[in-house]
């Protein structure tokens, strides 16, 4: 269903520009009201959201609550802090500016475009919207057409609770994206793959539109010997196989100290059984692959590799069992692109230097995981690697901490959001300097003759 005819895109943007010009969104009370409306709308449609995600991804209800509907926490956080975030902040001035005062005013950007992916299709379109509303913008949302049921429910919720001149949804695929990208926006917030990210940035460049790119990549997970094995395997199993591995910050592959590899593999087998039973296809708690195309791509990874756990699949259900593979070579296709599915390769190391060198030889990942209690090792990995974020002794949980900016670096993205970072992403920081009239020193005015020694002194 296309809620908004594509031919109307220009008109929606024009209407939003006019609405923005009224100045209504600059009122912080208005923004708080809209955030409250959004929260209520989500609560009201909880069941429909659960059903949409079940239809798109066979997403278990509990996972929908903890990874999609939990976006409500972000709304509460924004409501709590918005008055403070939106206040102008005093900035210090140096002594030679003694007659001046300086302030930074956060101001909304205008009309923003938010393009979402299919893997957490509700949360990843609503979470940036919270930042856009909090910062006082109008917004157009383009959910992923691949998670079509969720796209529909997002469109229904927004159309029911918001004026399209303020927030509108445009449904559709590449064609809809392209139509939108041809227009000028004041910011584009994109979540998706690196290849499409480049297309978005090229389109934005034509209008000099700033972008936030929340991309993906291969997030490594280092496992040292100094760990609680039972907790480690459970946390890795959860982070890797939640949503059947279709998580941008899922551990993509394991880098395991050789000494603990066997115990780790035994532990993973045990925790997988604990989570999903003997036959995960029958588990109500295990998701499915989003589409035939992604299913085929993942099944191809399993050709000519050594499967040590799982490996079964069922094309009619787009089911792939939680799978662990060993003795993986860096040239295997599974190590050449982001897996984004329930396949976990294991690579062993004897010295941490090898693991660090491998990570540093590849594009910077979105997340890096380290399981180790060894403080020196933690320090070394933090110092010698670069990634969007790091989580030590756990997986994926970093995404739930509103005070931590979330985003990539290098190939894994540009910019960040969540909590205050979302507000900042959708705000312009307007610097305002004010002088007074009680004094007017003439050192900077022409004629300059004889003033150089004083200027040199001031600069020195």
Q: To the nearest whole angstrom, how small is the minimum distance from the Cβ of residue 5 to ligand NAD?
A: 17
Question: Looking at 188, 211, 248, 391, which residue binds ligand NAD (CB under 6 A)?
Answer: 248
Ordered strands of the 111-115 beta sheet: 167-169, 138-142, 111-115, 187-191, 211-214, 413-414
Which structure tokens are listed for 100?
């001046």
Cα 379 to the chain's mean position, in Å?
25
Q: Which residue is nearest to ligand NAD (CB)?
A: 216
> Does the footprint of ligand NAD cover residue 410 (CB under 6 A)?
no
Cα–Cα dist 361/367, whole Å: 15
Q: To the nearest whole angstrom, how small is the minimum distance from the Cβ of residue 174 to ligand NAD?
A: 4
Q: To the nearest whole angstrom, how small is the minimum distance from the Cβ of residue 232 to ligand NAD?
A: 23
> Per CB under 6 A, which region of 34-42, 117-125, 257-265, 328-336 contacts ligand NAD?
117-125
Measured over the CA atoms of residue 350, residue 354, residue 358 and residue 360, the dihedral's sign is positive
Q: To the nearest whole angstrom, how small is the minimum distance from the Cβ of residue 77 to ligand NAD?
A: 18
Q: Which is nearer to ligand NAD, 136 or 239 (CB)?
A: 239
Q: To the nearest whole angstrom, how small is the minimum distance from the Cβ of residue 94 to ligand NAD?
A: 39
Neighbours of 173 (CB within 10 A): 13
Range 146-175, binding ligand NAD (CB under 6 A): 173-174
Q: Which is nearer to ligand NAD, 15 or 412 (CB)?
A: 412
Q: Which is nearer to ligand NAD, 214 or 224 (CB)?
A: 214
Q: To the nearest whole angstrom, how small is the minimum distance from the Cβ of residue 51 to ligand NAD?
A: 21
Cα–Cα dist 54/60, whole Å: 7
Kindly write out the interface string for residues 1-40 of this chain, putting x where it contacts ligand NAD by CB under 6 A and - elsewhere.
----------------------------------------
Which position among 63, 68, 171, 214 bears the catalytic label? Answer: 214
Q: To the nearest whole angstrom, how small is the minimum distance from the Cβ of residue 398 to ligand NAD?
A: 11
Range 67-96, binding ligand NAD (CB under 6 A): none
* CA nearest neighbour of 114 among 106, 104, 103, 122: 122
> Does the footprint of ligand NAD cover residue 337 (CB under 6 A)?
no
> Does the footprint of ligand NAD cover residue 63 (CB under 6 A)?
no
Q: To the nearest whole angstrom, how small is the minimum distance from the Cβ of residue 252 to ligand NAD?
A: 9
Range 208-247, binding ligand NAD (CB under 6 A): 214-216
248 carries an active-site annotation: yes
* Residues in the chain, total: 460
> Per CB under 6 A, which region of 68-76, 187-195, 279-287, 300-308 contacts ligand NAD?
187-195
Kindly write out the interface string for residues 348-377 of this chain, putting x where it contacts ligand NAD by CB under 6 A and - elsewhere.
------------------x-----------
Cα–Cα dist 413/353, whole Å: 26
Question: Looking at 40, 83, 178, 350, which residue binds ligand NAD (CB under 6 A)?
Answer: 178
Which position among 171, 248, 338, 391 bears the catalytic label? Answer: 248
Cα 436 to the chain's mean position, in Å?
44
Question: Looking at 60, 106, 110, 117, which residue binds ligand NAD (CB under 6 A)?
Answer: 117
> Does the footprint of ligand NAD cover residue 128 (CB under 6 A)?
no
> Does the footprint of ligand NAD cover residue 343 (CB under 6 A)?
no
Cα–Cα dist 79/310, whole Å: 45
> Does the footprint of ligand NAD cover residue 119 (CB under 6 A)?
yes
214 carries an active-site annotation: yes
Q: Which is nearer to ligand NAD, 164 or 408 (CB)?
A: 408
Point out which residues bind ligand NAD (CB under 6 A): 115-119, 124, 142, 144-145, 173-174, 177-178, 191-193, 196, 199, 214-216, 248, 338, 340, 366, 408, 413
Catalytic residues: 214, 248
């Amino acid at each position: 269903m296309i809620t908004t005819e594509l031919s109307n895109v220009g008109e929606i943007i024009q209407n939003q520009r006019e609405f923005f010009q009224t100045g209504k969104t600059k009122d912080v009370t208005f923004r708080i009201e809209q955030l409250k409306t959004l929260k209520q709308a989500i609560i009201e449609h909880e069941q429909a959201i659960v059903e949409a995600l079940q239809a798109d991804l066979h997403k278990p209800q509990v996972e929908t609550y903890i990874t999609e509907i939990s976006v409500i926490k972000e709304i509460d956080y924004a409501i709590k802090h918005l008055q403070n975030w939106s206040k102008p902040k005093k900035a210090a001035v140096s002594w030679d500016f003694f007659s001046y005062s300086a302030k930074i005013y956060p101001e909304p950007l205008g009309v923003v475009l938010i393009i979402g992916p299919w893997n957490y299709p509700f949360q990843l379109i609503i979470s940036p919207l919270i930042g856009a509303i909090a910062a006082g913008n109008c917004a157009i949302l383009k959910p992923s057409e691949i998670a079509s049921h969720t796209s529909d429910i997002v469109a229904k919720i927004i159309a029911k609770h918001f004026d399209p001149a303020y927030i509108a949804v445009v449904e559709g695929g590449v064609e809809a994206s392209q139509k939108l990208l041809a227009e000028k926006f004041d910011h584009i917030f994109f979540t998706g793959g690196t290849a499409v990210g480049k297309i978005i940035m090229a389109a934005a460049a034509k209008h000099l539109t700033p972008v936030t790119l929340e991309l993906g990549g291969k997030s490594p997970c280092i496992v040292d010997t100094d760990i609680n094995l039972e907790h480690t395997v459970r946390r890795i199993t959860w982070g890797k196989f939640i949503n059947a591995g279709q998580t941008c910050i899922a551990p993509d592959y394991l880098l395991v100290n050789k000494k603990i590899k066997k115990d780790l593999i035994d532990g993973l087998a045990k925790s997988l059984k604990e989570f999903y039973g003997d036959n995960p296809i029958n588990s109500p708690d295990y998701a499915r692959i989003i589409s035939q195309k992604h299913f085929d791509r993942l099944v191809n990874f399993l050709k000519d590799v050594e499967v040590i756990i799982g490996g079964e699949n069922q094309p009619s259900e787009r089911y792939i069992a939680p799978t662990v593979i060993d003795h993986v070579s860096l040239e295997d296709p599974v190590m050449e692109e982001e897996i984004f599915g329930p396949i976990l390769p294991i690579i062993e190391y004897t010295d941490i230097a090898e693991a660090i060198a491998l990570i540093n030889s590849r594009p910077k990942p979105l997340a890096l995981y380290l399981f180790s209690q060894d403080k020196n090792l933690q320090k070394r990995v933090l110092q010698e690697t670069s990634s969007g974020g790091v989580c030590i002794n756990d997986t994926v949980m970093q995404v739930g901490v509103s005070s931590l900016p979330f985003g990539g670096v290098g190939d894994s993205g540009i910019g960040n959001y969540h909590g205050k970072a979302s507000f900042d992403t959708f705000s312009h920081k307007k610097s305002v300097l004010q002088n007074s009239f009680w004094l007017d020193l003439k050192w900077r005015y022409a004629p300059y003759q004889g003033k150089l020694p004083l200027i040199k002194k001031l600069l020195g």
